[in-house]
Copies of this chain bind each other. A is one copy, B any other.
Amino acid sequence: MRIALLGGTGDIGEGLALRSTRDTDHEIVVGSRDPEKARDRAAVYEDELAGRGIDAKVNGFANPMAADRADVAVACVPAYHLADTVEAVADSLDDTILVSPAVGMQRDEGGMHYNPPGVGSVTALAADAAPEDVPVVGAFHGLAAGRLADLDSDLGWDVPVVGDDEAAKATVTALVDAIDGLRGLDAGPLAAAPEVESLTPLLINVAANNESLADLGVRFD
């Protein structure tokens, strides 16, 4: 499959690009608002992989070009810029599954809090912004970017996956499972996205309050 990482120049994009390239046969394309930045970051990812003996091509393009002919496009951008990003690539999303890993949060003196948009979840916001026939799936929310991008780290994390299109959800779950140390789990339809997204501030709060813990993910058992 061809997987586009929109805004894949950032923290979560780096980890997804490195691990998907290392662990799967999928073609990874890094997107950015700025094609030159996309190419630069793609080259950085290639170098990181080459340093580990993995000879792989990672291409970088402007987001719409990255999304073009992609089977899956992961919108690796801040929640508050997700709708813009999806609208900017809307014309390139034929037969593409759109994946949202985004979580809206707000920090106060109590810690990090879930702060969903009015439609109920960020995944629902992505679905509203996408063309009607584009299946939207929520996934990857609970993966700490720092550890994901550290290829020396063994993960052992679960990834709850939500969405209304069962075939799209199965494709994304298989994509998750193909990455070493990740297990995709069905967490229900799009309407169950708030429960999935609100795990992220809990992970951040637990890491912030326990000195021995950082960059947490989660395992269900």
Residues of A within 8 A of B (CB): 108-114, 156-157, 160, 185-192, 194-196, 198-199, 201-203, 205-206, 208-210, 213, 216-221
User: Across the interface, do B113 and A195 meet the contact criterion of CB distance under 8 Å?
Assistant: yes
Partner of A160, one of B157, B191, B202: B202
A111-B195, A195-B113 as given contacts; A187 in contact with B209, CB under 8 Å: yes
Q: A209-B187, A220-B203, A221-B217 are in contact. Are A195 and B157 (CB under 8 A)?
A: no
- Measured CB to CB, the closest approach of chain B to A157, in angstroms, equals 7
- Whether B185 contacts A202 by the Cβ 8 Å rule is no
For this chain, the copies found in one complex come to 2
Instruction: Determine whether the beta carbon of A202 is less than 8 Å from that of B199.
Output: yes
Specify which of B187, B201, B210 is in contact with A206 (CB 8 Å cutoff). Answer: B187
Q: Bound complex: CA of A186 vs CA of B207, how far in Å?
A: 9
Bound-complex Cα distance A192 to B106 (A): 12
Residues of B within 8 A of A188 (CB): 110-111, 205, 208-209
Chain B: which residue is nearest A199 at the CB level?
B202
Contact A209 B221 (CB under 8 A): no
Complex CA–CA separation, A192 to B216 (angstroms)? 17
State whether B216 touches A187 (Cβ < 8 A).
no
Q: How far is the CA of A152 from the CA of B220 in the complex (A)?
A: 19
The answer to whether residues A202 and B195 also contact, given A156-B221, A213-B220, A219-B221 and a CB cut-off of 8 A, is yes
**A189/B110 contact (C-beta < 8 A), A195-B205, A202-B160 known:** yes
CB–CB A114/B221 < 8 A = no
User: Contact at A206–B108, with CB atoms within 8 Å?
Assistant: no
Are A195 and B114 in contact (CB-based, < 8 A)?
yes
